[in-house]
Structure 1
């Protein structure tokens, strides 16, 4: 079974940069003692095609089952990430808080206030060590923790110099074990630099995911 969709729980990393004559020195990572507010709206399109004997396909049709089955979803995720003071070893703490995580019907998919704790450096993605959330089953809590950490572990972005209007694409493989099922993905992310100010760089980010479940 193959699907194309956007993964709502992926946390897109923030970027450190240096600026000179409107050229962005793109270096993915987090800075110490900084607050990052993030809003991500992700849409997903699922398409599943049944195959089998003529009798099976006939039975599905008689039962009113569409073939292929098409499902559209929309997820709205708001998080606040806070980093602490950098230590002598170059590490500093990071806390990621879910402010809102809802589906297309407005139903909460991750409870507000859920917290992820970990550590990071200027040159590496965060390494999480714990998750705290209320009203969540332990298995679901563990799945969120593993998925976010797996994303950080397998995310590799290049250091580049960009001018406004320029873009680049990054293709990253990702493997997630969920409830005994392995999901292998190829994530293609395109970053387009829209503008630069004294302290900020603004990107349009388009992400697509192709996956196989087995």
Structure 2
């Protein structure tokens, strides 16, 4: 009797897996009205930087107290709150975004520095969404510095571009690619990065969809038209998407990155490792 019960359980389990494998889902990112979305992000970065060049220049650097190779670690914590209002007659949902926490702890060759002052503490981003995950910023209050406003706009735009699902339905085993170009505003420099991510739907558990992530990174950098640099990297990760709430409630990535660039007659090269975890709670 126990044998037949076990056989029945295995059969039902197999049929359940087959049903999930055949199930197709149309994934959409969206904000619901009258909700609060609390996002927390943690980033851990380790970097080892080497400097090569004329021996006299290297001696000058080390004479100033700098040890080679340069060992850097960074721990960044970010917390934001997005509040949506009631759906209006024009089908738009008003929302506000605040940056509740922005702290960075950085260590260079053992010398640690912590920055807990949040430059966006007083900022309130006001805008609207059509419920499709896209945000139209109307105004930014509490900040007068135009550079900080530009940084806030870029961060909000980056959130919107983080994942775009295809228009067609997906089933287990299906994948799609997303290319995210990034131009980083570095003074007197032109830095372009491209992040290519392949999302593969691995499993559906109830209303949760689990995706595997594979990433490729390329970088081109020039400083004052004379100094050039390049970088490449790869990464892996996972994402849990709530189908009912239409949000990526949890994601993580583990990236390895190498870059090299020339500056002032020297060549600087680095190996980087970065781990990022993002979680979104809906209230």
With normalisation by structure 1, the TM-score equals: 0.66
C-alpha contact 1:183 1:212 (8 A) present in aligned 2 = no
Provide the secondary structure at the position in 2 that maps to 1:161. coil
Unpaired segments ≥5 residues, structure 1 = 1-19
Task: Write the mapping of 1:90-105 to structure 2, written as runs, cut at 5 A.
Answer: 90-104=91-105, 105=114
Q: What does residue 67 of structure 1 align with? A: 68
Q: What does residue 138 of structure 1 align with? A: 145
C-alpha contact 1:101 1:108 (8 A) present in aligned 2 = yes
Unpaired segments ≥5 residues, structure 2 = 1-18, 106-113, 198-212, 214-236, 264-283
The range that moved more, 94-103 or 26-35, is: 26-35
C-alpha contact 1:116 1:131 (8 A) present in aligned 2 = yes
Q: 1:171 to 1:152 in 2, by over 3 A?
A: same
Task: Write the mapping of 1:1-214 to structure 2, written as runs, cut at 5 A.
Answer: 25-104=26-105, 105=114, 107-133=116-142, 138-152=145-159, 154-159=161-166, 161=170, 170-179=178-187, 181-187=189-195, 190=213, 192-194=238-240, 202-206=249-253, 208=255
Please say which structure displays the higher CA radius of gyration.
2
* Counterpart Cα distance in 2 of 1:37 and 1:185: 28
* Counterpart Cα distance in 2 of 1:139 and 1:48: 33
* Counterpart Cα distance in 2 of 1:127 and 1:212: 37
Q: 1:209 to 1:124 in 2, by over 3 A?
A: farther
Deviation digits for residues 113-147 of structure 1 (CA, Å, limit 9, x no counterpart): 421122222335212232223xx661442242232
With normalisation by structure 2, the TM-score equals: 0.53
Q: Between Structure 1 and Structure 2, how many residues are aligned?
A: 192
Q: 1:142 to 1:83 in 2, by over 3 A?
A: same
Q: What does residue 9 of structure 1 align with? A: none
Q: 1:181 to 1:46 in 2, by over 3 A?
A: farther
